Chains A and B, each alone.
Chain A
Amino acid sequence: MLEVAGLTVSYGPIEAVREISLRVTEGTVVSLVGPNGAGKSTTLNALSGVVPAARGRILFQGRDITHLSPHQRVSQGIVQIPEGRLVLAGMTVRENLEMGAYRRPASEFKAGIAAVEARFPILAERRNALAGTLSGGEQQMLAIARGLMARPKLLLLDEPSLGLAPLLVKTIFDIVGELRSGGQTILLVEQNARQALLVSSHAYVMENGKIVLEGPAQQLMSDPAVISTYLGQALDAPASVA
């Protein structure tokens, strides 16, 4: 579905992402893990068109989208749920969801709202609240729900668990798991590599703007180098994969 070849992104003289190539197959969850500052978010932003690609090509469903503007990419079905959620704080929960469906025909709206409110009952309850008054976890739910309102073909999920309490982190990853079961294609960026690998079928490891490792998630999880560098002690009990 998505094919990135030799993508380089520069901020002035600094190359934040260097010559990376990756592929996301339809219906799978692929994760992009690595330390802070490795270029993961920059990669997603280049896929969304928020930052320009200096070199390389991005193919989506066989079409070259390297030079499309961000809103055109949303129309194509590439939807990012950004790090830090970026809910529209001064607008209501309902209006945030409406904005999620900005590029969708109005006829879909009712069904879309019903679907996300069924999945996230808290958003139905707080429909008329200003998004800025929601808790961090609720805002993350809203950000995900808003992203789903766009009916993404490819969902780019940037650090969905960042800054959330452990219980909420679990909730968020449960949601990712549910989306995967529903056939949603996802490219997931996470610092929480262990959790990310658990929900993914394939993964790429980034460091200093480059992809240094890639493979099936299962395989990476059992790679001693990955364990010692990215998973630490957390994978002592791999049997707890649930």
Chain B
Amino acid sequence: MNLLAQQLVNGLFIGSVYGLFAVGYTLVFGVLDILNLAHAAVFTLGGLVALWLVQTAGMSIWLAFPLATLFAGLLGLLLNQVAFAPLRKRADSQFSGLISSIAMAIIFEAVAMGLFGARSVRFPQGTVSVHIWHIAGVTITSLQVGIVLVAALLMVVLTLFIQRTRIGKAIRAVAESERAAMLLGVNVNGIIASTFLISSALGGAAGILYGLYFDALAPDMGRSIELKGLAVIILGGMGSIPGAILGGLAFGLSEVLTVAITGTSNLRDAVAFTVLFAILLIRPSGLLGRGKMREA
């Protein structure tokens, strides 16, 4: 029983990181109907840059975290400018954007490899002072709690931002209809750039939390989360922010429960993706999808 409770808690921790990664992913999709396949590479660079700031520049993680998040956001602007904006007028921009984002992902990964080496690296000991609590037989560390809190905070702030603020509403307007937004006086290109900035900043933040959680960072760490992130946003409903949060948690939980029940981690990914498959059979538009089906 304790093992199960422990795994549920672990699922919550990793699920919150998946959720944070996925909200950024789904945000761009919701606005542009484009999958930004370089999102995982931004995730990686966010983590590695934070590590560099802590290790080489000697910063505290409390300063390195926001700086690396900001850096990831700037990478998003670059992505938009290089990989998406030049193609926007094309009739096939969804597909061509997808391809050019893959190219950017490869470039980012190569840059990460060149700057930080191919080996797996970790944050220096003592980056975050860790307390360990034992509650009813479940072990929780302050690091884990911090990760959940930061991820939750960022997701709540994002949700409020999108719901309440002027720019948030403009982002939703562009997501609904670029033409309508344009006629209302929205600077559509500016809003798209802001969307990339926010999306990538969240992706970078997720990368830092992931690196702290697993105590390992590598130039190819994005690959492990890339497919999962895609699964999470499909699970939650493409373009839905609450869906991505919920999907992230569901995915994290199904992963750890698989490990708890089968006793090995061999089946972890298989079961998680089977859950995805099963949910899509019942709800083709995802948990919170709007049921809008795209014509072929």
The residues of A with any CB-CB pair to B shorter than 8 Å are 48, 50, 69-71, 74-75, 79-80, 82, 86-91, 95, 98-100, 102-103, 146, 150
Per a CB cutoff under 8 Å, which of B172, B179, B182, B290 touches A91? B172
Residue B166 at the chain A interface, CB threshold 8 Å: yes
CA distance A75 to B177 in the complex (A): 20
CA distance A87 to B187 in the complex (A): 18
Interface contact A150-B177, CB-CB below 8 Å: no
CA distance A6 to B187 in the complex (A): 28
Interface contact A88-B183, CB-CB below 8 Å: no
Q: Which of A87, A88, A100, A103 has the most CB atoms of chain B within a 10 A radius of its CB?
A: A88
With contact pairs A99-B169, A102-B170, A102-B186 given, residues A88 and B177 touching in the complex (Cβ less than 8 Å): yes
Interface size class of B (residues with CB under 8 A): 10 to 19
Task: Please classify the interface of chain B as helix (H, G, I), strand (E, B), loop, or mixed, using the class held by over half of its residues.
Answer: helix
Per a CB cutoff under 8 Å, which of B166, B181, B182, B185 touches A150? B185
- A112 → chain B, closest Cβ, in Å? 14
CA distance A82 to B179 in the complex (A): 9
Q: Which residues of B contact A146 (CB under 8 A)?
A: 184
Query: Could you jot down 20 A-B contacts, CB within 8 Å?
Result: A48-B182, A50-B182, A50-B183, A70-B182, A71-B185, A74-B183, A74-B184, A75-B185, A82-B180, A86-B180, A88-B172, A88-B173, A89-B176, A91-B176, A98-B169, A99-B169, A99-B173, A102-B170, A102-B184, A102-B185
Interface contact A102-B176, CB-CB below 8 Å: no
CA distance A54 to B177 in the complex (A): 25
Interface contact A71-B172, CB-CB below 8 Å: no
Closest 7 CB pairs of A and B: A74-B185, A103-B185, A86-B180, A70-B182, A88-B176, A71-B187, A71-B185
With contacts A71-B185, A71-B187, A74-B183 known, what are 12 further pairs, Cβ within 8 A?
A48-B183, A50-B179, A50-B183, A69-B187, A74-B185, A80-B183, A82-B179, A88-B176, A90-B172, A102-B186, A103-B185, A150-B184
Q: Which residues of B contact A87 (CB under 8 A)?
A: 180
Q: Which residues of A contact B169 (CB under 8 A)?
A: 91, 95, 98-99
With contact pairs A86-B180, A88-B180, A102-B166 given, residues A71 and B186 touching in the complex (Cβ less than 8 Å): yes
Interface residues of B in 24-64 (CB under 8 A from A): none
CA distance A80 to B185 in the complex (A): 10
Interface contact B177-A86, CB-CB below 8 Å: yes
CA distance A7 to B268 in the complex (A): 64
CA distance A87 to B181 in the complex (A): 10
Q: Which residues of B contact A80 (CB under 8 A)?
A: 183
Instruction: Digitize B159-183: 1 where CB-to-A-CB distance is under 8 Å, 0 elsewhere.
Output: 0000000100110110011011111
Q: Which residues of B contact A79 (CB under 8 A)?
A: 183, 185
Per a CB cutoff under 8 Å, which of B170, B179, B188 touches A99? B170
Considering the complex, give the chain B residue whose CB is closest to the CB of A158. Answer: B183
CA distance A69 to B182 in the complex (A): 9
CA distance A74 to B176 in the complex (A): 19
CA distance A70 to B183 in the complex (A): 7
- B109 → chain A, closest Cβ, in Å? 36
Q: Which residues of B contact A99 (CB under 8 A)?
A: 169-170, 173, 181, 184, 186
- B243 → chain A, closest Cβ, in Å? 14
- B34 → chain A, closest Cβ, in Å? 19
CA distance A7 to B129 in the complex (A): 68
CA distance A86 to B176 in the complex (A): 9
Interface contact A86-B183, CB-CB below 8 Å: yes
- B155 → chain A, closest Cβ, in Å? 20
CA distance A95 to B165 in the complex (A): 11
CA distance A75 to B183 in the complex (A): 11
Interface contact A71-B170, CB-CB below 8 Å: no
CA distance A50 to B179 in the complex (A): 8
Q: Which residues of A contact B173 (CB under 8 A)?
A: 88, 91, 99
Interface residues of B in 179-203 (CB under 8 A from A): 179-188
Q: Which of B166, B183, B186 has the most CB atoms of chain A within a 10 A radius of its CB?
A: B183
- A41 → chain B, closest Cβ, in Å? 12
Interface residues of B in 58-91 (CB under 8 A from A): none
CA distance A99 to B175 in the complex (A): 13
Considering the complex, give the chain A residue whose CB is closest to the CB of B183. Answer: A80
CA distance A71 to B180 in the complex (A): 11
Q: Which residues of A contact B182 (CB under 8 A)?
A: 48, 50, 70-71
Interface contact B179-A86, CB-CB below 8 Å: yes
Considering the complex, give the chain B residue whose CB is closest to the CB of A106. Answer: B166
- B159 → chain A, closest Cβ, in Å? 15
CA distance A95 to B173 in the complex (A): 10
Considering the complex, give the chain B residue whose CB is closest to the CB of A75. Answer: B185
CA distance A50 to B188 in the complex (A): 11
Q: Which residues of B contact A69 (CB under 8 A)?
A: 187
Q: Which residues of A contact B183 (CB under 8 A)?
A: 48, 50, 70, 74, 79-80, 82, 86
